[in-house]
Amino acid sequence: MPLYEQIFNHIMKDIENQVLREGDKLPTEVELSRKFNVSRPTVRAALAKLDSMGYLNRIKGSGTYVAKPKLLQESTQFIESYNQEMKSKGLVPKTLVLEFRAVPCNETVASKLAIQTGTNVIKLKRLRYAAPNYEERPVLLTTVYLPEKYASGIMAYDLEKQSLYDVLKENDIIINRVERVLEIKLLYGKQAKLLEVKENSPAHFISSIGYTEDNTPIEYSESYYPADRNKFIIRINS
């Protein structure tokens, strides 16, 4: 089990057993790294997972506190590429690559991928279309980050014509588990311009972490779906 998962489980156990209660302040990253004898990025990854599940409330300049988690709605549990999904609906997918290069990662991406801030990642930013319904306007703006040390081989591919998941498989990178968080955000600035919507238009925002079989986080993505062009079906099985 990865170290950050062990820290996550330890803190979760304290929350479930009410050793840590709502409103309690957590130790700092430095204090937790000393307590568990791990690096700060490892602690940060554990806290990021707790945060994504709604168990933490981070207040800038004050600290990190235990929060009452929001109700988590489980969405459809399958992993499918955008191209496959559109084709299954009888639509013709189209992709426009806006950015495809190696960049040093920021703190947010580092915490999601459990790597050091500043480590090189492959950044892939794309606009996605689905004809004939939205032949002229994009239905999705998505940015994917992958650790360069694992995914440098994908740079040789044309990802306007090929599926990223298919390319990853060709490079022996298999994503077999994905955790997604769905929120509502407002679009503004460059995002609104790219998606051809008015300033402060609502969008479904999905952040996603893809894991390999050994629970290594290998892919982090941020996707904006304009609310006037997208809807989601949530399936719950008894």
Tell me what pLDDT residue 208 has: 93
Q: Band the pLDDT of 197: cuts 50, 70, 90.
A: very high
User: Using one digit for the tens of pLDDT, what is the confidence trace for 154-187?
Assistant: 999 999 999 898 999 999 999 988 988 888 999 9
CA distance 208 to 182: 9
CA distance 146 to 154: 10
| Domain range list for the chain | 3-66, 82-226
Tell me what pLDDT residue 149 has: 93
Average pLDDT over residues 62-83: 58
Annotate 193-212 with b (16+ C-beta within 10 A) or e (fewer): ebbebeeebebbbbbbbbbb
Sign of CA pseudo-dihedral 91, 170, 175, 227:
negative
* Domain 3-66 CATH class label: mainly alpha
User: Using one digit for the tens of pLDDT, what is the confidence trace for 28-72?
Assistant: 999 999 999 999 999 999 998 888 777 888 888 889 999 866 533
Q: Which two tokens stand for residue 185?
A: 């955000």
Topology of domain 82-226, CATH: Chorismate lyase (3.40.1410)
Tell me what pLDDT residue 93 has: 74
User: Using one digit for the tens of pLDDT, what is the confidence trace for 91-135?
Assistant: 667 899 999 999 999 999 999 999 999 999 999 999 998 776 555
Q: Which residues pair with 219 in a beta bridge?
A: 210
Tell me what pLDDT residue 72 has: 36
Annotate 62-98 with b (16+ C-beta within 10 A) or e (fewer): eebebbeeeeeeeeeeeeebbbeebeeeebebbbeee
Q: Band the pLDDT of 74: cuts 50, 70, 90.
A: very low
Instruction: Say if residues 97 and 125 touch (Cβ distance below 8 Å).
Output: yes
Geometric angle at alpha carbon 85, from 82 and 88, rounded to 5° = 150
